[in-house]
Structure 1
Amino acid sequence: MSTRSRAAAKAVQAAKTAAIADKPSAISKSKAASSTLPIHLFPDANAFESWLETNHGDRSGIWLKIGKKGSGIASVSYDEAIDTALCFGWIDGQRKGLDAQHFLQRFTPRRKNSIWSKRNVDKVGVLVASGRMREPGQIEVDMAKGDGRWEKAYSSSSTMKVPADFEAALDQNKKAKTFFESLNRTKRYPFLWKIETAKRAETRSEKIVQFVKLLAEGKTL
């Protein structure tokens, strides 16, 4: 190959590489989408509720700007926002810092077939009893009860226990058990959450085998 041919080939390869690099990944698209969400600050839960009455059908969601404890900022609190969101079929998601006085909490409509937490199941019980649930929120509850997601709600990190089948598997591998027992609650939770939320028995068994092997190697999720 001549010097000119080699140079041309390198130029073509460089162009291909640049084209690939310029293509946004799924992750970058997701980040871009979340970064363009509108930011709202509501002085109290009633203001957030009034906004949801009109905008609960907005599928993209919002960033809720919440005043930190002790900041003196008048805003709906995180707990109040969760209760209000559940009434309209919305849920909380990612949290990120903003400044010394505020943080941002993402709220979006619940996605189709999304799993429920026992925390939110319990909250809904209180909201229904107090007459606060609205039609959009009740529809999500009824669908979850109808397809089994309600009964399969997962526990929080503070209440989730090691399931018997995972415990039995750990008992068969001393290294895995010793390492798992050395982990704090935060490090244990991803393992337990993935096991508890597995949709099929086969998937659950596969995850247990995978996690025991991972723990035996001294690795976490």
Structure 2
Amino acid sequence: MQIHQGQPLFFGNQEQFREWLSEHSRTKKELWVGYYKVESGMPSLTWPQSVDQALCFGWIDGIRRSIDKDRYCIRFTPRKPNSNWSLVNIEKAESLILKGLMTPDGMVLFQNRKVADDKSYSYENKPEQLPQHLEQLFRKNTKAWEFFSNQSKSYQRTVLYWILSAKQEATKTSRLMKTIDQSLLQKRIM
């Protein structure tokens, strides 16, 4: 697996990640955080713990990549000013504020978030189906459609959200084709 800006850093717990953020959140532009899967038996920071700590410093999680059978990594970056916040992250941030964990940088970004668009990019609004022209394209690949249709509803909604959250039609089609290709191989895309 290729990671563009260096290798991932692995943290044994959330305190270690918070310490890194405290030292580097104002000077670094990204960090790939490494995680060990539970089955590996290795101590590891968990994804929910990392999101909580990132929110405290005004950072957000993004791209997830597999490293090998026991490890994966997620890219974290500073949030942009006036960014949209999911309902889940708003609730998390409010809880972190009450616990006294939110830093001044995180607080500024939280207070300046786009209030009117709180749910616009949120997983709470996952679509239930593809637009007709994309669904027809997917259904033409019977084996891929059958595999996808037999997956859990939550997986289907997550993939549909990923496809439809693209701003350009070409990107939506490209994401659909990646989903079809993986489904033909009987593999999940995420």
More helix by share: 1
**Aligned counterparts of 1:52 and 1:187: Cα–Cα separation in 2:** 31
Q: 1:191 to 1:73 in 2, by over 3 A?
A: closer
- Deviation of 1:110 after TM superposition, in Å, equals 1.0
Quick one: which of 185, 190, 195 aligns to 2:157? 185
TM-score after normalising by structure 1: 0.58
Q: 1:151 to 1:122 in 2, by over 3 A?
A: farther
**Comparing both chains, which one has the higher relative contact order based on Cα–Cα distances under 8 Å and sequence gaps of 6 or more?**
2
Quick one: which of 39, 46, 50 aligns to 1:70? 39
Quick one: which of 95, 98, 117 aligns to 1:152? 117
Give the partner amino acid of 2:104: E
Deviation readout 1:72-113 (Å, 9 max, x if unpaired) = 111111110000000001110111111222111111111234
- Deviation of 1:178 after TM superposition, in Å, equals 8.1
1:115-194 alignment runs, 5 A limit = 115-144=84-113, 149-153=114-118, 154=120, 156-157=122-123, 159-160=124-125, 184-190=156-162, 193=165
Give the partner amino acid of 2:32: W
Bigger radius of gyration among the two: 1
TM-score after normalising by structure 2: 0.66
- Unmatched segments (≥5 aa) in structure 1: 1-31, 163-169, 199-206
Count of paired positions: 155
What residue is the counterpart of 1:55 in the other structure? 24
Residue pair 2:31, 2:76 contacting (<8 A) in 1 also: yes
Q: What is the aligned-residue identity percentage?
A: 28
Matched, 1:106 2:75: yes
Q: 1:189 to 1:50 in 2, by over 3 A?
A: same
Q: 1:142 to 1:99 in 2, by over 3 A?
A: same
- Unmatched segments (≥5 aa) in structure 2: 140-148, 150-155, 178-190
